[in-house]
Amino acid sequence: MPKPITLVEPKVEPNSALEKRTRRIFTAEYKLSIIRQADACKHGKLGELLRREKLYSSQLSEWRRELAKNGVESLGKSAPGPTPKKTFEQKRIEQLEKENKRLRRQIEIKDSCILLQKKVLDLLEDCEENVS
């Protein structure tokens, strides 16, 4: 005997907290306080601090490097991702040089065509003179 068909539509309510995750932003004061707390930690307590704050040891290492290299000012917000190898001006110069090279090549081809047309015209004129 077949099973009866039920027309129940399950409703799924999306969790708004999981909809869009954003990158956490740490202030310079927070970073400095974590570095100080990490320095004050006794042996074996650093992992507990990192777990409590939901941080990675690599973040702490990077913050320490930044602090040692440039001081407290460097702990401010930094742009995510690697730093670009070329500045905007350098990219623009390369783009213009490439376009310049392409246009010079076009001019060279057009000049060659004009020169060829002149030679053909001279040959035709010579042929007409010889025939006459």
Tens of pLDDT, residue by residue over 10-37, are 777 777 766 777 778 888 899 999 999 9
pLDDT of residue 58: 93
State pTM to two decimals: 0.46
pLDDT per residue as tens digits for the range 90-115 = 999 999 999 999 999 999 999 999 99
Handedness of CA 89, 95, 96, 97 (dihedral sign): positive
Q: Is 1 a residue whose pLDDT tops 90?
A: no
| 59 CB neighbour count, 10 Å cutoff | 15
Is 39:49 a contact under the CB 8 Å cutoff?
no
Give the pLDDT band (50/70/90) at residue 42: confident
CA distance 26 to 61: 15
Residue labelled with tokens 């783009």: 95
pLDDT at 8: 64
**Residue ranges of the domains in the chain?**
24-78, 86-132
Percentages (nearest 5) of helix, strand, coil residues in the chain:
65, 0, 35
- CA dist 38 and 46 (Å) reads 6
